């Protein structure tokens, strides 16, 4: 069966009652919020009082390196929450949310190379298709100097999201309800809902939600096919490197990009034009990762 390897994650699931999973969802969000507030408060103590308002705005906009790095790192609290929920509510070792570590790492490296190449080719096609030239982002030397911070921050953000949505929610749900359409779609719908931001995307917010749902289904499929989180993290990681560190829209969340698209996140028409190419890139990246798993 194509999803037979998924048993490596579902077999380790414990205490699979749906009410317990719902409680776990709230538990993860609560831990993430409290831990995020604690870490942010700790940082605020280290910042002069006259600069705290500027720091809050920097994280909210994420249009400069410090704010964007803090935003990405703050997502690590989601992974901590998922690990704690697995241990506290399900008597499950957090490492079992990932799968066998050596296998997960090997699959991550293979799929990152394949999905990364596909994502770069997709970005190149989108650059060619856009009428206007790209705008400069960070100066090259500064961008290179920040890479040792940028790449781990993106890895923490993407791995934490995958640990929660695919490692925790998907595997616990599949252990209780083995029908693939359930555990492929429900965590993906929650993942998509987390990307609903009309304040950022304007009237294009539903379009972003659709893309996020399809991305979630692709990541869920890779997780079930491989039996580890390695391929899903690789797909997410390479996608976000291109979208956040290489070429990003103007304005919010552009703080680490080398180049910027000649439009902002709230430009509905531009996002609508980009969506078909984004979906093709996602499809090719997913297929490339699947091919890498067969090697």
Round to whole Å and give the CA distance between 181 and 185.
6
**Cβ neighbour number for residue 261 with a 10 Å cutoff:** 23
- 103-125 pLDDT per residue, tens: 999 999 999 999 999 999 999 98
The answer to whether the CB of 166 falls within 8 A of the CB of 224 is no
Residue with the two structure tokens 């290179």: 144
Tokens found for residue 245? 């560190």
Higher pLDDT, 273 or 77: 77
> If pLDDT is split at 50, 70 and 90, which confidence band does 34 have?
very high
Tokens found for residue 26? 């709230």
The answer to whether the CB of 140 falls within 8 A of the CB of 258 is yes
**Cβ neighbour number for residue 252 with a 10 Å cutoff:** 21
The answer to whether the CB of 260 falls within 8 A of the CB of 135 is yes
Round to whole Å and give the CA distance between 282 and 122.
9
- 148-207 pLDDT per residue, tens: 999 999 999 999 999 999 999 999 999 999 899 999 999 999 999 998 888 777 777 888
The answer to whether the CB of 280 falls within 8 A of the CB of 122 is yes
Domain ranges of the chain: 4-293
- Model confidence pTM above 0.85: yes
Give the three-state DSSP class for 19.
helix
């Amino acid at each position: 069966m194509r999803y037979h390897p998924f048993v490596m994650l579902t077999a380790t699931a414990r205490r699979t009652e749906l009410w317990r999973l719902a409680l776990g969802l709230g538990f993860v969000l609560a831990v993430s919020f409290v831990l995020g507030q604690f870490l942010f408060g700790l940082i605020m103590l280290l910042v002069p009082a006259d600069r705290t308002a500027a720091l809050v705005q920097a994280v909210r906009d994420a249009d400069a390196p410090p704010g964007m790095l803090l935003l990405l790192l703050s997502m690590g609290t989601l992974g901590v929450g998922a690990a704690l929920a697995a241990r506290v509510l399900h008597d499950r070792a957090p490492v079992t949310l990932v799968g066998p570590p050596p296998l997960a790492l090997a699959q991550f490296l293979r799929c990152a190379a394949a999905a990364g190449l596909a994502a770069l080719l997709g970005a190149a096609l989108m650059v060619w298709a856009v009428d206007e030239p790209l705008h400069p982002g960070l100066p090259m030397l500064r961008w290179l100097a920040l890479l040792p911070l940028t790449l781990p921050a993106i890895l923490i953000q993407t791995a934490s999201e995958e640990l929660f949505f695919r490692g925790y929610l998907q595997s616990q749900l599949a252990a209780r309800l083995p029908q693939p359409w359930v555990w492929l779609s429900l965590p993906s719908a929650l993942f998509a809902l987390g990307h609903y931001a009309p304040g950022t995307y304007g009237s294009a917010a539903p379009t972003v939600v659709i893309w996020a749902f399809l991305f979630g289904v692709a990541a869920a499929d890779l997780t079930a096919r491989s039996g580890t989180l390695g391929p899903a993290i690789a797909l997410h990681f390479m996608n976000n490197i291109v979208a956040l560190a290489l070429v990003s829209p103007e304005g919010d969340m552009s703080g680490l990009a080398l180049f910027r698209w000649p439009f902002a996140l709230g430009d509905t028409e531009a996002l609508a034009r980009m969506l078909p190419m984004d979906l093709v890139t996602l499809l090719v990246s997913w297929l490339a990762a699947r091919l890498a798993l067969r090697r």
